[in-house]
């Protein structure tokens, strides 16, 4: 028999290992969270939630895990942010997954499917939240479509997304994001569990809108970086952000999103932040392109994943199937993936368009 935090006996005949402890933790209002992905954003979320809950951050590199545990920080991806006492780091995927009441996947989008398959085999049915953004390069699928394909349509799950730089979240600076799920009860429950005064969470049931906004803003941020890098000024940046939001909304609505979602945190909010903030990886890609650097050189120097690069092509293909015009995305895709197309050529593609009604 085990005794919970409220001194209620567990009369189950053969509890699984760890169930009593997990129940006691939950009844105290706390959750054991497993965060998969030791990059900047995964580390920042692990730090934020470990201020309240018990968190294990999983990373595949054993040497990196040992360094993080020894230094109590992630010097490579999130320097200057100390780990809370409730945060531990592990390279043991199985142990991390089986010990948690919530799985939070914060890998690059390219790693989402493989992570889901591994979790499905180990601990099916554990509540899942992902914080990946973009479109799958091979299939053009949004993250929730990947989740449904791997875990089924009845999986208890949702996406955490919105305007949020990892460095600021890790430092405890005020941030507001959205937890979107097709299951309103799921979103409302985990909102209450994860919400903090300096990490505010709003619920939403529009998965498509939340993911389209969060994914495609990275493409527009590359365009914003190109514009700024070429010295086109603030008027041009404002035009790019506004027209970028228009084409994101067109595609989102064509896919079933609600327009109001794309006017909120996961659409307009995330777009403004990523297009104007110096911490934006995708904007930095655009700035470097404007300098004439090659894409392989830029990505090597960046040292992080810039999701806007693969998303541009996937978004353009998806837009074509829906008959949606996305001129900014088209120009950025040409700049990123076509030989002989430079920043000035990409700008010309946009400026040569016929005038039209807004």
For position 92, which CATH number holds? Answer: 3.40.50.720
- 22 assigned to some structural domain: no
217 is catalytic: yes
> Does 40 count as an annotated binding residue?
yes
CB of 133 closer than 8 Å to CB of 109:
yes
Query: What percent of the chain clears pLDDT 90, i.e. is strictly above it?
Result: 84
Contact between 87 and 97 under an 8 Å Cβ cutoff? The reply is: no
pLDDT surpasses 60 at 9: no
Does residue 310 lie in a domain region? yes
Same domain, yes or no: 167 and 287: no
Q: Which of 8, 217, 293, 322 is catalytic?
A: 217
- What pLDDT, in 10s, does the model give residues 208-226? 999 999 999 999 999 999 9
12 falls within a domain: no
Residue 332 has pLDDT above 80, yes or no: yes
pLDDT in tens, 47-94: 999 999 999 999 999 999 999 999 999 999 999 999 999 999 999 999
The pLDDT assigned to 26 comes to 54
Q: Is residue 357 part of a domain?
A: no
Q: What's residue 27's pLDDT?
A: 54
For residues 215 and 200, membership in a common domain is answered with no
Domain that holds residue 87: 31-205
* DSSP state letter for 181: -
Mean pLDDT of 188-199: 96
Q: How far apart are the C-alpha atoms of 195 and 175, rounded to whole Å? A: 11
Q: H-helix or E-strand containing 190?
A: helix 184-194
- Domain final residue, candidates 205, 229, 249: 205
Nearest to 256 by CA among 162, 182, 317: 182
Say whether both 156 and 44 belong to one domain. Answer: yes
Q: What is the mean pLDDT of residues 275-299?
A: 95
Domain assignment present for residue 252? The answer is: yes
Q: Domain count of the chain?
A: 2
pLDDT of residue 6: 32
Confirm whether residue 294 is marked as ligand binding: no
SS3 state of residue 87: strand
pLDDT (average), residues 322-343: 91
pLDDT at 294: 92
Q: How many CB atoms lie within 10 A of CB 118?
A: 14
Q: Which of 175, 205, 235 is the last residue of a domain?
A: 205
- In the three-class reduction of DSSP (H, G, I as helix; E, B as strand; rest coil), residue 125 is classed as coil
Q: How far apart are CA 75 and CA 39, in angstroms?
A: 11
Residue 217, annotated as binding a ligand: yes
Q: 0.85 exceeded by the pTM?
A: yes
Torsion of CA 333, 339, 342, 346, to 10 degrees: -30
Indicate whether 157 and 219 sit together in one domain: no
Q: Is residue 166 marked as binding?
A: yes
Mean pLDDT of 258-281: 97
What gap in Å lies between CA 334 and CA 110, rounded to an integer?
Answer: 22
Higher confidence at residue 113 or residue 29?
Answer: 113
Residue that is last in its domain, among 183, 205, 227: 205
Three-class DSSP category at 119:
helix
What 3-state class would DSSP assign to 211?
helix
Given pLDDT bands bounded at 50, 70 and 90, which one contains residue 25?
low
Residue 129 maps to a domain: yes
Best CA proximity match to 85, nearest among 72, 76, 68: 72
Q: Distance (Å, rounded) from C-alpha 178 to C-alpha 205?
A: 10
Is 77 annotated to bind ligand? yes
pLDDT-based confidence at 29, cuts 50/70/90?
A: confident
110 with 88, same domain: the answer is yes
Mean pLDDT calculated for residue range 14-39 = 67
User: Do the beta carbons of residue 228 and residue 171 sit within 8 Å?
Assistant: no
74 carries a ligand binding annotation: no
Write the CA distances from 263 to 107, 141, 159, 213, integer angstroms: 26, 22, 18, 9
Mean pLDDT for 292-319 is: 93
Same domain? 177 vs 298: no
Q: Percentage of residues in the chain with pLDDT exceeding 70?
A: 91
Residues 6+ apart with CB under 8 A from 230: 290, 343, 344, 347
Instruction: For residues 170 and 274, state if they share a domain.
Output: no
Residues 160-196, buried b or exposed e (16+ Cβ, 10 A)?
bbbbbbbbbbbbeeebebbbbbbeeebbebbbebbee
**Helical (H) or strand (E) element with 35:** strand 32-36
207-229 vs 327-337: helix crossing angle, rounded to 10: 60
Over residues 165-179, the mean pLDDT reads: 98
pLDDT reported for residue 353:
72
The answer as to whether 7 is a domain residue is no
Tell me the pLDDT tens digit for each residue of 227-266.
999 999 999 999 999 999 999 999 999 999 999 999 999 9
Assign residue 303 the CATH number of its domain.
1.10.1040.10
pLDDT score for 4: 30
d(CA 222, CA 219): 5
């Amino acid at each position: 028999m085990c005794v919970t935090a409220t001194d209620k006996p567990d009369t189950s005949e053969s509890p699984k290992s760890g169930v009593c402890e997990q129940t006691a933790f939950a009844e105290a209002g706390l959750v054991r969270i497993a965060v998969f992905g030791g990059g900047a954003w995964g580390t920042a979320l692990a730090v934020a939630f470990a201020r309240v809950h018990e968190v294990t951050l999983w990373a595949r590199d054993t040497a990196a895990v040992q360094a993080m545990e020894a230094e109590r920080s992630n010097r490579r991806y999130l320097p200057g942010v100390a780990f809370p006492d409730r945060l531990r780091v592990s390279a043991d995927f199985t142990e991390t997954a089986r010990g948690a009441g919530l799985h939070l996947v914060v890998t690059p989008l390219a790693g989402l499917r493989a992570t889901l398959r591994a979790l499905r085999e180990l601990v099916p049915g554990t509540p899942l939240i992902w914080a990946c953004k973009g479109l799958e390069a091979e299939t053009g699928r949004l993250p929730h479509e990947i989740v449904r394909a791997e875990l089924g349509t009845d999986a208890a799950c949702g996406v955490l997304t919105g305007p949020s730089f990892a460095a600021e979240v890790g430092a405890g600076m005020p941030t507001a994001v959205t937890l979107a799920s097709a299951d309103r009860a799921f979103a409302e429950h985990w909102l209450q569990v994860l919400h903090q005064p300096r990490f505010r969470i709003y619920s939403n049931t529009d998965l498509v809108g939340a993911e389209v906004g969060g994914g495609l803003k990275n493409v527009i941020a590359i365009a914003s970086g190109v514009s700024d890098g070429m010295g086109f000024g603030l008027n041009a940046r404002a035009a790019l952000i506004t027209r970028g939001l228009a084409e994101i909304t067109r595609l989102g609505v064509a896919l079933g999103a609600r327009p109001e979602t794309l006017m909120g945190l996961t659409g307009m909010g995330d777009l403004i932040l990523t297009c104007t903030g110096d911490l934006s990886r995708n904007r930095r890609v655009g700035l470097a392109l404007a300098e004439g650097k090659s894409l392989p050189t830029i990505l090597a120097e960046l040292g992080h994943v810039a999701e806007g690069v693969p998303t541009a092509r996937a978004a353009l293909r998806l837009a074509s199937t829906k008959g949606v015009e996305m001129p900014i995305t088209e120009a950025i895709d040409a700049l990123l993936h076509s030989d002989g197309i430079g920043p000035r050529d990409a700008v010309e593609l946009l400026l040569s368009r016929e005038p039209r009604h807004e």
